Amino acid sequence: MPVIFVIIAFLMSSKNIDYYTLTFIIIFCFSVFYIGLSQIKSSKVNVSDGSLIIKSTFYKDIVLISSIDNIEVVDELVNKNHLMYRSNGISMTGYKIGYFTLTNHKKAFLYTTEPPYLVINTQNQTVIISKNNLSNDDLNTLLGNK
């Protein structure tokens, strides 16, 4: 948000920009900010009908609990799982959601807000979520099966 104000202040001080362009830029910046905020608020993780469901405005992933090979609880992502880069997703301080590539060149679906993290491996995919994003009942259901 502070970046938006700095950009707007810079543009307002510029003599080469007209009122309509400045209005468009302001509306565009606040729209992007609002969409990002709604993405964060709409993100949910739950266990239902034998599946782990991760859902938000732009992303959704479903993992069958029966297909989970192992679940590991880790405190760090960068050193432990070696996140290489974001392939398709949103990455802000304290919030990551989308597809990320690991150093072993496998893709992982992430929805993380804070440690500790659950690294869920299946034969076909890796999913990493924050342990705190699950309710206690959902966490017990998930960990009780593995």
Quote the domain boundaries for residue 34. 2-41
9 and 67 belong to one structural domain:
no
75, 26: one domain: no
Residue 6 token pair: 């700095």
DSSP-derived letter for residue 93 is T
Which tens digit of pLDDT belongs to each residue from 106-140?
888 888 888 888 888 888 888 888 888 888 787 77
91-101 pLDDT, tens digit each: 777 788 888 88
The predicted-structure confidence for 51-93, as pLDDT tens digits, reads as follows 888 888 778 888 888 888 888 888 877 666 667 788 888 777 7
What is the spatial distance between Cα 94 and Cα 113, in angstroms, rounded to a whole number? 5
Q: Are residues 19 and 36 in the same domain?
A: yes
d(CA 107, CA 113): 19
pLDDT grade, residue 145 (50/70/90)? Answer: low
Can you tell me the distance from the alpha carbon of 53 to that of 55, in angstroms, rounded to the nearest whole number?
A: 6
> Do both 17 and 47 map to the same domain?
no
Whether 84 and 91 have beta carbons less than 8 Å apart is answered as: no
Quick check: helix, strand or coil at residue 136?
A: helix
59 and 121, same structural domain? yes
